[in-house]
Structure 1
């Protein structure tokens, strides 16, 4: 950990290097009038909207929509199976093909609305009510970008299934709506937060702050059930192909959210944007073609008990598409023996290994945040 002390509160960073755009955003956080204690930057930190991805922020009395992000509740689910690699490799292409047909990816949704008790618990918040019917078609869908379904092997050659997805359009609608509302309210209240920082906040005791909290927490529920639905489909397909297929460990973590927590003796709102609560079982996925890790969180108080949510980008999506030919990405996956399934491959370079930090270096930089328990190597992947 390194400490930057040039701002109103310190910036504590676990990243060996921080790009200037992300560092400038961290300075804004450190000078935010409602920020408390210090700003924590995880080793996968990179520039986002308003707050860097891989950042953790404590505030008092307010919540900041852009410090949670647009894919509220985005996270990772992982399951350990009873199958050895040799048992499943013969069937892997067939299984991946069936999964791709059963689970909509990208902008595709289910053709029929999905039923869930979750929809009956939707809060009475306008933006949630407006999106509720559309969400019934999105429950159990992967989405695009860096979302994935992956089969992996641990050190004992047991197969794991991992997937990464979030709250679909729910999260973006909620984030955009309440960020606009926060901008207007900050001007009304005269908060000294420059508009260009993109860090407008909602007072927790205000109606708007309470509504955002309700909407955000509902998005977390939706995202978790979204991952659970997809995992159930995957496991059913595996079981139908391999009748002796079972599983015995399931982990789920999300990495875009805010929660009231006690740190340094004070109740504060902890914003984790592209960061995971590092207590108990933790999943840190690598980039496409790289290892992923199952860890034990060390609850380091200096990081607000947080760790990285993945490898972290070193190239923007447009830059990756310009610099990295799709054919090279496909060849690399073939050379690594990884089965790749993606319907539209023109944007494949956006998620290739070269567009991200080295996950092994990220893990080295956060040795005081997590203890690695299991290293997982990719066997086959479906990209959104």
Structure 2
């Protein structure tokens, strides 16, 4: 861990290097009057909007929509199956059928789907505006870095992983309440303008409304992953004759929660970070072409009991599409079944940090348990 004393409170970093723009964002966080104890930067830290991704902010009494982000509740399910081996032909059939039957990118289901959360949603305008379309969005993957994958575990089992979030719910909630916070910040002066860090007092009407909406988006995101896994496992089961899922690990990495640290009740914002309490299981994915890890939290208070949510980008999407060729990306994916890149190379493995280095840098935060090697990937 490195400590930077560049603002009002220290910045503690588990990354080998922190890019200049991400470090400036961390300094901005450290100078917020309500920031508590220190800012924690995970091993996968990189620049985000307002707050760096892979950042953890603890605050007293104030919640910041942009410190949670636009994909509220984005996270992963890892499911251990009873299958011990799988052929290339089976992988190709699963990946192909998943592409044909599960909505990816901007696609939605053609018929509305059920979820008990639709029956009694919070009485909040921005949620009600999205309810109808959400019935078609739930159980869809989305785009960007969202994926479904088949992995070979170091425990001898074949695992499935699903990475997705709250779809348009999170996006609309984040943008709406960031605008509300910006307007209120003109009076409260909670944060400097143009830093993208306008906050809401948690005990205010607007703060409570955002907190309620955010938690509803977390529940939606979790159900979205559950329904995606159900569809993905159904295809997997048909192809492999799997009888059951033996274990599920579920985490999310864009949220804020009320927790107690260093003897005080505070609001912990994890943007691209996951909770790693003592004994808690977590998932740290690499990239489409590199390993992922099932880990166990060590409950380290210095990171507010958090760890990285993945490998973290080493280049922006725009830069990746300039620097990486299709040939380079294909070579990095040799031996892995996938459908190709279309025109977007931003998720190529070399756009990400070295997952082994990222894991090594946070051995005081987590204990690696199972290494997962990618066999087949469905990208959003």
User: Secondary structure in 1 aligned to 2:82?
Assistant: strand
C-alpha distance in structure 2 between counterparts of 1:100 and 1:245, whole Å? 23
Q: CA deviation at 1:244?
A: 4.0
Q: CA deviation at 1:88?
A: 4.3
C-alpha distance in structure 2 between counterparts of 1:222 and 1:291, whole Å? 28
Equivalent in the alignment of 1:256: 254
Equivalent in the alignment of 2:54: 54
Query: Greater CA deviation, 242-251 or 283-292?
Result: 242-251
How many pairs align?
378
1:360 to 342, 356, 360: 356
Equivalent in the alignment of 1:120: 119
Query: Map of 1:39-188 to 2, 5 A cutoff?
Result: 39-85=39-85, 87-188=86-187
* Gapped regions of structure 1 (runs ≥ 5): none
Q: Cα deviation per residue 1:293-342 (whole Å; 9 max; x = unaligned)?
A: 00001110000000000011111111111111123312331x3x100125
Query: Contact 1:285 / 1:291 at 8 angstroms: preserved in 2?
Result: yes
With structure 2 as the length reference, what TM-score do the two structures score? 0.97
Q: CA deviation at 1:247?
A: 1.7
C-alpha distance in structure 1 between counterparts of 2:151 and 2:97, whole Å? 17
C-alpha distance in structure 2 between counterparts of 1:91 and 1:46, whole Å? 37
Residue 347 (structure 2) pairs with residue 351 (structure 1): yes
Query: Contact 1:326 / 1:345 at 8 angstroms: preserved in 2?
Result: no
C-alpha distance in structure 1 between counterparts of 2:189 and 2:48, whole Å? 25
Equivalent in the alignment of 1:216: 214
With structure 1 as the length reference, what TM-score do the two structures score? 0.96
Off by >4 Å, runs of 4+ in structure 1: none
Query: Contact 2:202 / 2:208 at 8 angstroms: preserved in 1?
Result: yes
Q: CA RMSD in A?
A: 1.1
Query: Contact 2:83 / 2:240 at 8 angstroms: preserved in 1?
Result: no
Residue 209 (structure 2) pairs with residue 194 (structure 1): no
Query: Contact 2:274 / 2:307 at 8 angstroms: preserved in 1?
Result: yes
C-alpha distance in structure 1 between counterparts of 2:236 and 2:289, whole Å? 22
C-alpha distance in structure 1 between counterparts of 2:186 and 2:53, whole Å? 26
C-alpha distance in structure 1 between counterparts of 2:76 and 2:12, whole Å? 26
Q: CA deviation at 1:370?
A: 0.4
User: Secondary structure in 2 aligned to 1:33?
Assistant: coil
Query: Greater CA deviation, 197-206 or 267-276?
Result: 197-206
Equivalent in the alignment of 1:383: 379
User: Secondary structure in 2 aligned to 1:179?
Assistant: helix
User: Secondary structure in 2 aligned to 1:144?
Assistant: coil
User: Secondary structure in 2 aligned to 1:135?
Assistant: helix
